[in-house]
Amino acid sequence: MAEGFLPITKEEAEERGITQLDFVYVIGDAYVDHPSFGHAIISRLLEAHGYTVGIISQPDWKDERSICVFGRPRLAFLISAGNMDSMVNHYFVSKKRRPKDAYTPGGEMGRRPDRATVAYGNLIRRVYKDVPVIVGGVEASLRRLSHYDYWSDSFRRSVLLDSQADLISYGMGERSIVEIADALNSGIRVKDITFVAGTVYKTKDISGVYDALVLPCYEEMKEKPERYAESFRMQYENTDPFTGKYLIEEYPKGTYVVQNPPAAPLTTEEMDAVYDLPYRYTYHPSYEEKGGVPAIAEIKFSLVSNRGCFGGCNFCALTFHQGRTVQVRSHASILKEAVRMTQEPDFKGYIHDVGGPTANFRHPSCEKQLHTGVCRNRQCLFPSPCKNLTVDHSDYLELLRKLRSIEGVKKVFVRSGIRFDYLLADADETFFRELVEYHVSGQLKVAPEHISDAVLCRMGKPENAVYERFVKKYYKINGQLGKQQFLVPYLMSSHPGSTLKEAVELAEYLRDLGYMPEQVQDFYPTPSTVSTVMYYTGIDPRDGKKVYVCRNPHEKAMQRALIQYRNPKNYELVYEALQKAGREDLIGFDRKCLIKPRRINGVPQGMRQESLKQGKRKTGQENKQPEDRRGGRDAAQHKKKRTIRNVHKKKM
């Protein structure tokens, strides 16, 4: 029995004196008992409330016996596809299969099915017809209502229906899962659990649902994508626990899927309690023989300080999953974990990260947010910071100072996203200076994403001038501190709104910067983001306006290649892109050009043509017909005979 871990076999459960588990948790990831893994938080939380939980990790979805490891649970099966959507986990944006899975022992790919939530749900239903099934995690949360599926290029139903589950616990799930467990334990039938915030259920009768918004029905959205854009706008405006309404989506045969308002955010005390549960902070020892679980390397010496984000980037699903209200752990909770970290045998003195979705958010965006919720149709930072925004880095700065002072800690890095427009809005430069002085590992990663304001507008990002001010200030502070540290900008190609024109603008910007990124993120249409709705419908759901969408794989490749125009492998794509964009002026030998002309027999085309013209002018042959018009083998033989005659003449 692995000491301290939850049981993964029936024998381990029996060694603990458990004859029937309350919950069997089926997960698509390897079992890692660390609070950066959703299954660890949910299972430990249930355990803390007196329930027994067993883990079935990565069962064989083709073998019904794999789901029978513990037998029938007393209360319910729980399902999570893993820390990532299974389709994102499996495929690049090109839809080619990824070679490795960081959440599987040894990085082995193929240990979970596509659309794992659906596959596991149907596997359970084949064996246990009447046991309650609760699905949760990122995949279920972001597919809780009908949605566009990029990988099949189709409009799909709620995952609740396709998985044959009874309930979805969406969002982070701590509040809802305990309330569901208590309801089941009290004898309430799962079909009657319709009252829990942060859940989605199915029903034939909506007469008892009050103060609800009725979304366009599934069939209508499937036929008219513009209706999906309308539906998504309504969903997006109801993601706040204070103001969110019940949402109803109708399906054929009188079936309704009902989304209850989101669960309330956790208080600091509740966050501390979640992170103070008895985690083992590593993967199950049974994975050791395969080399462990690669994903642990990214988080083993990192600290989560917050969750939620009011940044509102349109290509990000955080609004639908963690929400816009920032929730934080106390300094004491984080420092306690940091001290534990320093006692690990392989700790080298470096804390790799202190952050969350956005590292420098340590409080709600404004005071009213805690009482009346976030604004329905306004963003905190876009298109510019709200006049009610509270900009204060003092708490985060104090936390970093405390972490730096822990015995055994040499360096504390900040590698989570720093929201640079929020940083610039702070009149006090103290945090910015200390960030540069103590918390940058030679390079600071930031996410301007693009430089075209037209594209940035569709991304929900600040205009490029804001990023330029940040860059200038960053290097100024580095200079004042006598440091030579760099910025690594994350850039995205082919986001909705980006044509070849904007892609060329970005390439020119990189040329002037003298920088070519090693990695480029091609826009990935994942479920439940504003940008994905634009990609599918061609409409921005925020304002109803039409948006240019790059869907052609070849054009997407050209946009991506333009960002890495210096790479010789991209030459043909860049050449074609510049021609299509009418920017042949960027093909040449001038320092402003992106690429040189094509080569013929090793000589650039433009240079070859110019040389031929100059040679003809010098010999007076420019307007004369060529001496020999023979082609192919005849021309070669004629040239050979003429050469032989010339040699003979010289000998004579």
pLDDT at 282 over 60: yes
% of the chain exceeding 70 in pLDDT: 92
The pLDDT of residue 600 is: 61
The pLDDT of residue 635 is: 42
pLDDT at 393 over 90: yes
Which pLDDT tens digit goes with each residue over 246-264? 999 999 999 999 999 999 9
Q: 169-202 burial, b for 16+ CB within 10 Å, e for fewer?
A: bbbbbbbbbbbbbebbeeeeebeebeebebbbbb
pLDDT category of residue 367 using cuts at 50, 70 and 90:
confident
Computed over every residue of the chain, the mean pLDDT equals 92
The pLDDT of residue 283 is: 97
pLDDT at 238 over 90: yes
95 found inside a domain: yes
By CB atoms closer than 10 A (0-12, 13-18, 19+), residue 547 is buried
20 found inside a domain: yes
* Total domain count, the chain: 1
The pLDDT of residue 104 is: 98
Q: What domain range includes position 121?
A: 10-197
pLDDT category of residue 594 using cuts at 50, 70 and 90:
very high
pLDDT category of residue 314 using cuts at 50, 70 and 90:
very high
Q: What average pLDDT does range 97-119 have in this prediction?
A: 97
The pLDDT of residue 376 is: 87
Q: What average pLDDT does range 593-620 have in this prediction?
A: 61
The pLDDT of residue 3 is: 81
Distance CA 391, CA 362 (A): 10
pLDDT category of residue 601 using cuts at 50, 70 and 90:
low
β-pair partners for 282: 33
68 — phi, psi (to 5°)? -105, 20
Which pLDDT tens digit goes with each residue over 435-484? 999 999 899 999 999 999 999 999 999 999 999 999 999 999 999 999 99
Q: What average pLDDT does range 281-306 have in this prediction?
A: 96
SS3 618: helix
pLDDT at 533 over 70: yes
Of 403, 536, 425, 520, give the one whose Cα is nearest residue 473: 425
The pLDDT of residue 616 is: 47
pLDDT at 297 over 80: yes
Task: Report CA 223 to chain centroid distance, whole Å.
Answer: 29
577 found inside a domain: no
Residues 6 or more apart whose Cβ sits within 8 Å of residue 393 = 360, 362, 423, 426, 428, 430, 431
Least confident of 131-140, 217-226, 620-629: 620-629
Distance (Å) of CA 459 to CA 221, 364, 383, 495, 552: 24, 22, 10, 8, 20
End-to-end CA distance of the chain: 100
403 found inside a domain: no
Which residue has better confidence, 361 or 372? 361
106 found inside a domain: yes
CB 131 within 8 A of CB 22: no
Which residue has better confidence, 155 or 616? 155
Which pLDDT tens digit goes with each residue over 474-485? 999 999 999 999
pLDDT category of residue 618 using cuts at 50, 70 and 90:
very low
Residues 6 or more apart whose Cβ sits within 8 Å of residue 93 = 522, 523, 524
Which pLDDT tens digit goes with each residue over 53-64? 999 999 999 999
pLDDT at 404 over 50: yes
564 found inside a domain: no
CB 520 within 8 A of CB 564: yes
pLDDT at 541 over 50: yes
442 found inside a domain: no
Which pLDDT tens digit goes with each residue over 2-44? 789 999 999 999 999 999 999 999 999 999 999 999 999 999 9
Of 300, 301, 299, 304, give the one whose Cα is nearest residue 330: 304
pLDDT category of residue 603 using cuts at 50, 70 and 90:
low
CATH value at residue 127? 3.40.50.2300
Distance CA 491, CA 150 (A): 21
82 found inside a domain: yes
